[in-house]
């Protein structure tokens, strides 16, 4: 498989779907929002964008299956599977806040080997494939060289439907506030990840995530020289519901800061 060519084609597809989302955003009717669960929004834009992605990706790699947020196609492939978030940051989108993106990753077995995250608002297409480096609009990107947490800007996401660990999370946030340049919450895990890859953030952590929230961004962080793990240990950060991403230099500090307050056994 030519991962370079596959990545180039994936970028084109993501840009096309992103353009559709941006265009719909200019006239979006909030009365058409649906609720999948408490504070879990979906719109016709999410669903249509996912259909467009599935159709194009099925043609690009017919043998691949799909893991999709909106369930457009749930057929699993024997080896390859596309993991799709058609609109990461739906709540932002429905409130006309232009911080959202298209995120797609390709699994080869249990490893993400190609990823793209396209931000229509800034027209930034972040992409990577295994062994090929990481890029934003064809310009190579690299994680920050900040040496310590005290020199770093950290991103996170707040709980929005499962509040069982809210107190521990607030304690973790307090520690990061005291030990870093600050914390930012964009509302899109995929963008948080690629911002780590591009050196805009030194680190990112969040829990209660799904594979489609992070798959596209993880390979981009890796190829940009960053490090990924679960909160307090190594492990499956794509399907493991929690993730720490960093420039590598501050990773141990981030894990230690989380471990100080995090519920024991949450690995």
Give pTM, 2 decimals. Answer: 0.93
- Cα(first)–Cα(last) distance of the chain, in Å? 34
The domain spans of the chain are 3-140, 149-259
For the domain covering 149-259, report its CATH number.
3.40.190.80
Q: What per-residue confidence (pLDDT) applies to 36?
A: 54
Q: What is the pLDDT of residue 166?
A: 82
Query: From CA 114, how far away is CA 10, in angstroms rounded?
Result: 9
CA distance 77 to 68: 13
The total of other beta-carbon atoms located within 10 Å of residue 69's CB is 22
Exposed e or buried b per residue across 141-177, where buried means at least 16 C-beta atoms within 10 angstroms of its C-beta: bebbebeebeebbbbbbeeeeeeebeebbeebbebbe
pLDDT in tens, the chain (267 residues): 899 999 999 999 999 999 999 998 887 666 666 655 543 456 788 899 999 999 999 999 999 999 998 888 889 999 999 999 999 999 899 889 999 999 999 999 999 999 999 999 999 999 999 999 999 999 999 999 999 999 999 999 987 666 778 888 899 999 999 999 999 999 999 999 999 999 999 999 999 999 999 999 999 999 999 999 999 889 999 999 999 999 999 999 999 999 998 865 444
**What tokens does 252 get?**
């141990």
d(CA 193, CA 33): 27
Per DSSP, helices labelled H in the chain are 3-25, 44-60, 90-94, 166-179, 189-197, 211-223, 251-259
| Neighbour tally for 23: CB within 10 Å | 12
The CATH homologous superfamily of the domain defined by 3-140: Fructose-1,6-Bisphosphatase, subunit A, domain 1 (3.30.540.10)
């Amino acid at each position: 498989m030519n991962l370079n060519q596959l990545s180039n084609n994936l970028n084109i597809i993501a840009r096309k779907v992103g353009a559709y989302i941006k265009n719909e955003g200019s006239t979006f009717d909030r009365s058409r929002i649906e609720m999948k669960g408490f504070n879990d929004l979906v719109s016709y834009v999410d669903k249509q964008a996912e259909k467009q992605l599935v159709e194009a990706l099925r043609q690009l790699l017919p043998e691949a299956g799909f893991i999709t947020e909106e369930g457009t196609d749930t057929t699993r492939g024997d080896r390859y599977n596309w993991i799709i978030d058609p609109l990461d940051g739906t709540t932002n989108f429905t409130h006309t806040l232009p911080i959202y993106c298209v995120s797609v990753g390709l699994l080869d077995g249990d490893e993400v080997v190609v990823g793209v995250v396209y931000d229509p608002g800034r027209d930034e297409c972040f992409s990577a494939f295994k062994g090929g480096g990481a890029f934003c609009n064809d310009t190579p990107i690299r994680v920050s060289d900040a040496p310590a947490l005290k020199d770093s800007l950290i991103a996170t996401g707040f709980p929005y439907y499962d509040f069982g660990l809210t107190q521990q999370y607030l304690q973790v946030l307090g520690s990061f506030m005291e030990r870093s340049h600050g914390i930012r919450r964009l509302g899109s895990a995929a963008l948080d990840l690629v911002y780590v890859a591009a050196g805009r953030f030194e680190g990112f952590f969040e829990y209660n995530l799904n594979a489609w929230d992070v798959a596209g961004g993880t390979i981009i962080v890796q190829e940009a020289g960053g490090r990924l793990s679960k909160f307090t240990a190594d492990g499956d950060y794509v399907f493991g519901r929690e993730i720490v991403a960093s420039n590598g230099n501050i990773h141990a500090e981030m894990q230690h800061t989380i471990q100080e307050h995090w519920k024991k056994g949450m690995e």
